[in-house]
């Protein structure tokens, strides 16, 4: 399986912190069942520099439970037959570089997001992931100047992750205006070569719908993890994802079908 996000509807990528609860893989099935196009799995890191309170708490709780990157990947491997949607791993450079690309490939991970690995540092991992058939998804931020933005669009695989706000991950009451201008710039640059996914602060179905109209879809993390931290089980959170899905599908979509997506190597 490779990361393939060709679709004619706005994309929905919900997130779960690996190892957060004993039955954390149940959230993967719930997300899939609720209509996720792919699922982002966070490998908890002791020093999550780009994460706000919610993901920090989720990471801390997972680590306190004894979650390790290796055990989380093993859990993913065990789920392989039951998961039909692509799995994208999000983690920090120290863990990603230590684990190595082969380890991700071995358990069927098809995409990788490493938020503290900017263009200046990402070339070696780009080459390794390319060789292993994994898409290294690069991030663009509102502060990214045009020349860098073009370079990010050129080198990113799978999709381009649009960081909606100058800040850390976390729920916000509205989708930042910067999200819309960044999504526009990315779409202009990409000309439908890759989808643009908006993340950071996409919390409600309304925000998801707005993100789906501005870009090609959204990543939703903190809002879901807040629910899990508060005790929501997979079937509870499934309903949240169903609502996000419905809002995205009901919105006017600017998304285009992608004839050919990098990473589709079937």
Catalytic residue numbers, as ranges: 40, 51
Stretch that binds other proteins, among 1-9, 95-103, 219-227, 246-254 (CB under 8 A): 95-103
Residue selected from 15, 27, 31, 45 as contacting other proteins according to rule CB under 8 A = 45
Q: In the structure encoding, which two tokens stand for residue 14, read together?
A: 């919900």
150 lines the binding site for other proteins (CB under 8 A)? no
Residues 160-189 that bind other proteins (CB under 8 A): 163, 166-168
124 makes contact with other proteins (CB under 8 A): no
Considering only residues 50, 232, 243, 246, which one is a binding residue for other proteins as defined by CB under 8 A?
50
Q: Does 118 bind other proteins (CB under 8 A)?
A: yes
Binding piece for other proteins, criterion CB under 8 A, among 103-111, 141-149, 203-211, 257-265: 141-149
- Nearer of residues 15 and 92 to other proteins, judged by Cβ: 92
Long-range contacts of 101-106 (CB under 8 A, 24+ apart): 101/125, 101/128, 101/129, 101/131, 101/132, 101/134, 102/132, 103/70, 103/73, 104/73, 104/132, 104/134, 105/132, 105/133, 105/134, 106/73, 106/77
26 is written with which tokens?
A: 């149940």
Backbone angles phi, psi at 31, to 5 degrees: -65, -45
DSSP line for 202-233: --SHHHHHHHHHHSSEEEE-HHHHHHHHTT--
Rounded Cα distance between 57 and 121, Å, is 28
Instruction: Tell me how far, at minimum, the Cβ of 130 lies from other proteins, in Å.
Output: 20
93 binds other proteins (CB under 8 A): yes
Q: Which residues bind other proteins (CB under 8 A)?
A: 45-52, 56, 60, 63, 68-70, 92-95, 97-99, 115-121, 138-145, 148, 152, 163, 166-168
């Amino acid at each position: 399986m490779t990361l393939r996000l060709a679709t004619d509807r706005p994309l929905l990528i919900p997130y779960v912190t690996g190892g957060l609860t004993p039955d954390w893989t149940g959230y993967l099935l719930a997300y899939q069942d609720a209509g996720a196009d792919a699922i982002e799995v966070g490998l908890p890191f002791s020093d999550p520099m780009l994460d706000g309170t919610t993901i920090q708490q989720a990471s801390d709780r997972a680590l306190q439970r004894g979650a390790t990157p290796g055990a989380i990947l093993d859990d993913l491997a065990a789920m392989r037959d039951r998961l039909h949607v692509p799995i994208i791993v999000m983690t920090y450079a120290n863990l990603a570089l230590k684990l190595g690309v082969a380890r991700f490939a071995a358990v069927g991970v098809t995409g990788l997001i490493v938020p503290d690995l900017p263009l200046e540092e990402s070339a070696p991992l780009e080459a390794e992931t390319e060789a292993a058939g994994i898409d290294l998804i690069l991030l663009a931020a509102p502060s990214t100047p045009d020349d860098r933005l073009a370079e990010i669009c050129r080198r990113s695989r799978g999709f381009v992750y649009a960081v909606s706000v100058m800040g850390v991950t976390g729920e916000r009451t509205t989708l930042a205006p910067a999200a819309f201008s960044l999504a526009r710039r990315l779409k202009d640059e990409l000309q439908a070569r890759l989808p643009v996914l908006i993340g950071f602060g996409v919390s409600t179905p309304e925000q998801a719908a707005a993100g789906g109209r501005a870009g090609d879809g959204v990543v939703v993390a903190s809002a879901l993890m807040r629910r899990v931290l508060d005790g929501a089980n997979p079937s509870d959170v499934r309903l949240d994802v169903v609502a996000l899905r419905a809002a995205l599908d009901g919105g006017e979509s600017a998304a285009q079908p992608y004839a050919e997506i990098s990473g589709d190597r079937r």
